[in-house]
Amino acid sequence: MPTIVESLNANRPALWIEVSPPRGVNPELLLKRLSTLIGHVDAINLTDNSLGKVKMSGLAFGSIVKSRLGLAIVLNVSCRDRNRFALKSDLLGAAATKIDAVVALSGDKIPPGADGSVVVSHDLDAFGLLEMIGDLNRGDTGDGKPALKLLPNLCPGAVANPNRKNLEREFELLARKAKAGARFVITQPVFERESALRFVQRATALGLKTVLGILPIKREAMAAYMKDNVKDLSNVAGLDRYAGKSEPEVRAESLAANLALMQSLAGEVAAFNIMSGGGPSLAIELALSFSAWRKENLR
C-alpha cells in the first residue's frame, strides 16, 4: 500500500473519508461500515472530539482500524484538551501504532456548561504542534536526552477554510502552518470549482498538497443550518439548491453534485476528503461512487 506522501504525489487524486470515532466503547458497527471501503479509499481521517462532543479516542480507534482493516489513518489531534506532555505522548503512541499522518488543530470551542463555565487547556496551538511533530520526526523529544534511534514518521498536516471572507488572512495563517512543518492541508467543504481551484493554486505555491473537503448534504434542514449558522458559508450558492426538497431528493442531488465536482477537479488536486457530517452512510456512498469512476477513468 502506498504511503500517505506517495498517494498525495500520485498521478490521480487520493481519496480519504472523514469519520468520527464511535460514541461508546463498541467499534464493531462502524468497523463493519468502514470495511466496505477496503480497496476504495486511501485513508480514513479520524476527527478528535469535533464540536466539543466526546467520542472514543481517535488514537485507540485508529489503531483498531489499522490492525483490523489495514486502512491508512490520518489522525486529527486537537491542542484544546491536552498540554504539551499529553500531546507529545499521544504523538509517540501514534508513531508506535503506525498512524500515517497527523492533522494539527487548535480545537473547536467548547460550549459552556450548566454553570456557564468553560475549562480549556491551550498549552500549544496548531503551529506549536506542527513544530513538535517535526522535532519528534527528527528524534528530538525535547527532554534534553539524546535523540531517539527509532524515529517516528508522522506526516504533518493542517486545516484551512477556503470559504472565509477574509481569505488573505486565511493564507497568512496557512503560510505560518507551512513554515511550521505542514506538508498537506485539508480544507473545509468546497461547493464550486473555481474557488476550489484558486485555493489549490495558492496552497501549492506554499509547498502544500491540498486535500479538498467534500460534504454530501443529507436533508434540507442541514443545508439551511449551515447557510444560516456558519458565517463563512452564508453566501455559498450550492446550499440554496436543496430548499423545499425531500430527504431522498436532497441526498440524490447532493451525491450527484459532489461527484460531478470531484470529477471536474480530479486532475487539479492531490486528494479529496469526504466529510461525514450528513452521516457515514452518505459519505461512504459518495466514496464508493468516486472510487468506481476513478478506477474506470484514471490510471
Count the alpha carbons within 13 Å of 250 in the hemisphere toward its beta carbon.
22
Please check whether residue 163 is in contact with residue 156, taking contact to mean a CB–CB distance below 8 angstroms: no
- Residue pointed to by grid coordinates 536526552: 145
C-alpha closest to that of 196 among 157, 171, 162? 162
* pLDDT digits (tens), the chain, 299 positions: 778 999 999 999 999 999 999 999 999 999 999 999 999 999 999 998 776 678 899 999 999 999 999 999 999 999 987 899 999 999 999 999 999 999 999 876 655 554 555 555 568 899 999 999 999 998 888 878 877 766 678 999 999 999 998 999 999 999 999 999 999 999 999 999 999 999 999 999 999 999 999 999 999 999 999 888 887 787 777 788 899 999 999 999 999 999 999 999 999 999 999 999 878 999 999 999 999 999 999 97
pLDDT at 120: 55
Q: Where is 189: in which H helix or E strand? A: strand 184-189
Q: Give the DSSP letter of residue 181.
A: T
pLDDT at 219: 94
C-alpha closest to that of 283 among 259, 267, 263? 259
Supply φ then ψ for residue 218, to 5 degrees: -90, -40
C-alpha closest to that of 212 among 171, 257, 163, 269? 269
pLDDT at 42: 97
pLDDT at 232: 79
pLDDT at 111: 59
Question: Domains in the chain, please, with CATH?
Answer: 4-110+121-219+266-279 (3.20.20.220)
Please check whether residue 103 is in contact with residue 72, taking contact to mean a CB–CB distance below 8 angstroms: no
Return the exposure string of 104-130: e unless at least 16 CB atoms fall within 10 Å of the residue's CB, then b: bbbbeeeeeeeeeeeeeeeebebbbbb
List alpha helices for 36-116, DSSP H.
Answer: 58-69, 84-96
- Distance (Å, rounded) from C-alpha 134 to C-alpha 153? 9
User: pTM for this structure?
Assistant: 0.93
Angle at 143 between CA 140 and CA 148, to 5 degrees: 35
